[in-house]
Amino acid sequence: MTDLKRIPVADMANVLEKAVRYRLLNELLQTASICRDILTVDPHNQSALVTLLLALTHQFDTKFTDALDGAYEAAYYEGIVHKHWANSQHLQSMPPEFVSG
């Protein structure tokens, strides 16, 4: 297994700029990967968090389930994605004292 290279703090702004550029080019998997690399070094980097959030939510338009073999698998995993999205929407509308975690 190859060791991942950590991003030097001095290069953080350039790497984040690259992630934003990839997002604008609709290269969402690359964007998410770069943002996760940034967050490994700087877990509270707000720009990387926002860019990652945008990249992930923009993928909701993509039908990843089309790549799965079989109608059952596609329907099953699409249902799981919808369930997770619905749960997140429900938790956001709940008062904080009712949300566990």
The region that residue 26 occupies, defined by phi over 0 for left and psi between -120 and 50 for alpha, beta otherwise, is left
pTM of the shown model: 0.62
Spell out the residues 6+ positions from residue 37 whose beta carbon is closer than 8 angstroms to its own: 4, 7, 15
pLDDT given at position 65: 62
Query: Considering Cα of 87, then 81, then 24, then 34, what sign does the dihedral take?
Result: positive
Q: Which helix (H) or strand (E) holds 22?
A: helix 12-24
Per-residue pLDDT of the chain (101 residues; tens, 9 = 90+): 556 668 888 888 999 999 999 999 989 899 999 999 999 999 999 999 999 988 887 876 666 666 677 788 778 877 887 888 888 888 787 666 665 55
Q: Domain coordinates of the chain in residue numbers?
A: 1-62, 65-101
39 touches 45 (CB < 8 A): yes
